[in-house]
Structure 1
Amino acid sequence: MNPFVFACITPHGSEIIEELAKPYPELMKKTRLSMESLGASMKQSNPDTIIVLTPHGTRIDEQFAIVNCEHMFGEMEDYGAKISMDRKVDRMLAGAIADHAKKKGLPVATLGFATSEGPLSCMPLDWGVVVPLYFMPETSIVVITPSRSLSFEDHLLFGSAMAEAVAQSGKRVGLIASCDWSHAHDETGPYGFHEAARQLDEQVVTLLHTAHLEGMMQFEPEFIEHAKPDGIWQALMLAGAIAPNERKVEFLSYEVPTYFGLMCCAFH
């Protein structure tokens, strides 16, 4: 049984947030509308806590990193505009996920900073968390960062541990896999151009439409390196958390307004 009240795959480009897109508000408008739809669905599901899987949090080689401090704070600034966000961490759920993952033999680290509790017990919110949460209801959170040093199978297994912890918690929990896709769509971008970017993104669109996220495990390392996606690992964690026969997929949008691909997909 799917233990999540709502789950989704979202991108995290800063210009999705209209305040940070000036003077180019139309640049990611298609994705922005999809994000607003995902946010409305998440709000309707009324979660107590939202788990966010991000590639840009504190990364530890060969370990899954789970934030377990009192709260998290982050700011984003672009084109002279700034947004800030402060969210309470669901420490009980964070700890339970870590325990379930360790029981499966997975390497896990729980992260804190400064003090064990109180207002100074705070970790930074990265843009992979801030952007999707901007569109979501304000709840407590659990933030998890995968490790690309670990196998795809480990990411699936971690997802199943996460689902077990959520099911046993008795809480209403939402899940966000924060994923941008290939970053090599534009020769003027920071990663240049490679034809693999279009090819990988097209294959991911097909896999999402068919709810076969595990198909990403077949991507060759060289193919991934050329295309430069940052979404595969979080998507596989989601795949491990929601069994194939329980995935009711709604694919909302795909676009490449700059040098990287943006996809929005809901799992009801």
Structure 2
Amino acid sequence: MSINGFYLMPHPPIVIPEVGRGEEEKISTTSSSLNKLGKEISEKAPSTIIVITPHGTMFQDAIALAYEDKIKGSLKNFGVPEVSLNIDINKSLTSRIFELSMQEDIPAVMATNELLNQYNASISIDHGALVPLYFIDKYYKNYKLVHITYAPISDMELYKFGMMIAKAVENLDENAIFIASGDLSHRLKEEGPYDFSPYGEKFDREFLSKLQEGDVLGLFNMDRETVCSAGECGRRSVLIMLGALEGKKFTGELLSYEGTFGVGYGVMSLHSASGSESMLKKLEELKNAAQQKKLSQSNPYVRLARESLTTYLTTGKPMKHIPNYVTEEMKNTKRGVFVSLKKYGELRGCIGTFLPTTDSVAEEIVRNAIEAGVEDPRFGEVQESELLNIDFSVDVLTEPLPAEKTELNPKEYGVIVASGGRRGLLLPDLEGVDTVEEQLSIALQKAGIGQHEPYTIKKFKVIRHKEE
């Protein structure tokens, strides 16, 4: 038996009357849609419900499969501990998914209480799983649960993990349904949970449209800046669901979409279409093309940064010679340089020099790229296997000039604050740093300088080079 139902369900606790206390009426369409799905699922009477959630205990490098006899949770963090669930885990299916994932080298972990106790955590039904299940439990309770928390690993690994879920269901002849729990953009309004971004609405519109069309390639090939700027938590859940649909054509029925509170809530049911079509080979080709593009960047600054760190991680030694594509300006100019690494939109390392410490910008990039990868104390060392999932950027600093507070603009100028031998630097145009006061406060904190101590200010600009 194969999975006989695929659903995208949001998880706003406020949609539950005990939490919303009347506010849930503002997203009544979402509530109606979730109730509709609850009834539909009850009619299918699955023996197992598989839920992918963003809000369980998450590992950065492995998908977590809850593995205990039972799993329980409540909305006590939202003021209503009486809203709770206590469900048996389908351990045989969970175990089979894990075994198949290990065979395919997909990073996964059996999340037991014994393991999570090491991190002061325990197995529980988080609100990402509890909210969708609340609307199912109103109509149907006779099921076991497979509770999975995704990880920020590569899109292809998530897709292949979904394939393993489908294979495990077939192996054990389970009667299962699949729920991809996730909210869409959290940046639809200024008063939303995150800062407003014009990419929020764009992401939601394109994401839902492509899902309705069954456009798997389009979902994987969405503009990276749009995805990274949307502030969403549902995309990875859906990528796993798409993997579980590998080989099947499908369309999506959008039951509702609301963004009342500045967060996109999409409710969708996916339906099989006639015919079959494997996406795996096409997705691999898409991945390889993206990798080749990264390896052949036309911008010499980011190309040199990538090549420098790659050389070091593969040989254990810095590159010996400056490549031919490096420009004369890079070879003959001395400047401070920052190299930043981002993985899936999140910072993975950043090291820089505000004044030149080598004979050229090129040498500065070579050194700082390696240090950003292996010396940033905030992160573990970058592994060679991560490189193609990392985006490089290089900021070349202009010469710092003395400045007064009134001359600063956090979007245009970076700052260097100094007092005695203490010094702190903050680059310009950083997300979440919108005022001079915020900029100086962070720079002072980095330097260990008190807010009321005397200090000097220098300002500088950066020329930013990013991978295409």
Is the shorter-chain TM-score for this pair beyond 0.5, marking a shared fold? yes
**1:19/1:81 contact within 8 Å kept:** no
Check if 1:100 corresponds to 2:104.
Answer: no
Identity %: 26
**2:57/2:149 contact within 8 Å kept:** yes
Q: Which residue of 2 is the match for residue 209 of structure 1?
A: 212
Matched ranges for 1:125-140 at <5 A: 125-136=125-136, 137-138=140-141, 139-140=143-144
- SS of the residue aligned with 1:85? strand
- SS of the residue aligned with 1:87? strand
Measured after TM superposition, the shift of residue 114 of structure 1 is 4.4
Q: Which residue of 2 is the match for residue 243 of structure 1?
A: 246
Q: Which residue of 2 is the match for residue 189 of structure 1?
A: 192
- SS of the residue aligned with 1:135? helix
Deviates more, 1:23-32 or 1:219-228: 219-228
Check if 1:15 corresponds to 2:14.
Answer: yes
Q: Which residue of 1 is the match for residue 264 of structure 2?
A: 261
Distance 1:83 1:153 in 2: 36
Deviates more, 1:74-83 or 1:164-173: 74-83
- SS of the residue aligned with 1:3? coil
**1:58/1:65 contact within 8 Å kept:** yes
Measured after TM superposition, the shift of residue 207 of structure 1 is 0.8
Q: Which residue of 2 is the match for residue 118 of structure 1?
A: none
**2:2/2:173 contact within 8 Å kept:** no
Distance 2:229 2:149 in 1: 22
Deviates more, 1:246-255 or 1:131-140: 246-255
Distance 1:80 1:141 in 2: 22
Q: Which residue of 1 is the match for residue 173 of structure 2?
A: 170
Structure 2 counterpart of 1:40, one-letter code: K
**2:212/2:251 contact within 8 Å kept:** no
Check if 1:123 corresponds to 2:126.
Answer: no
Deviates more, 1:210-219 or 1:56-65: 210-219
Give ranges in structure 1 of 5+ residues lacking alignment: 116-121
Measured after TM superposition, the shift of residue 47 of structure 1 is 0.4
* 1:188-217 per-position Cα deviation (integer Å, ceiling 9, x unaligned): 223110100000001012112201244222
Evaluate the alpha carbon distance shift between residue 177 and residue 80 of structure 1 in structure 2; reply closer, same or farther with a 3 A threshold.
closer
Distance 1:241 1:80 in 2: 34
Q: Which residue of 2 is the match for residue 70 of structure 1?
A: 69
Aligned residues: 260
Evaluate the alpha carbon distance shift between residue 240 and residue 157 of structure 1 in structure 2; reply closer, same or farther with a 3 A threshold.
same
Measured after TM superposition, the shift of residue 244 of structure 1 is 6.0
Give ranges in structure 2 of 5+ residues lacking alignment: 116-121, 272-468
Superposition TM-score, scaled by structure 2 size: 0.53
Distance 2:169 2:232 in 1: 28
Structure 1 counterpart of 2:32, one-letter code: L
Measured after TM superposition, the shift of residue 219 of structure 1 is 2.8
Measured after TM superposition, the shift of residue 66 of structure 1 is 0.6
Deviates more, 1:247-256 or 1:219-228: 219-228
Distance 1:104 1:80 in 2: 41
Q: Which residue of 1 is the match for residue 109 of structure 2?
A: 109
* 1:123-149 per-position Cα deviation (integer Å, ceiling 9, x unaligned): 21100000000111222101111111x
Distance 2:93 2:239 in 1: 20
Superposition TM-score, scaled by structure 1 size: 0.91
Structure number with greater Rg is 2
- Superposition CA RMSD, Å: 1.8
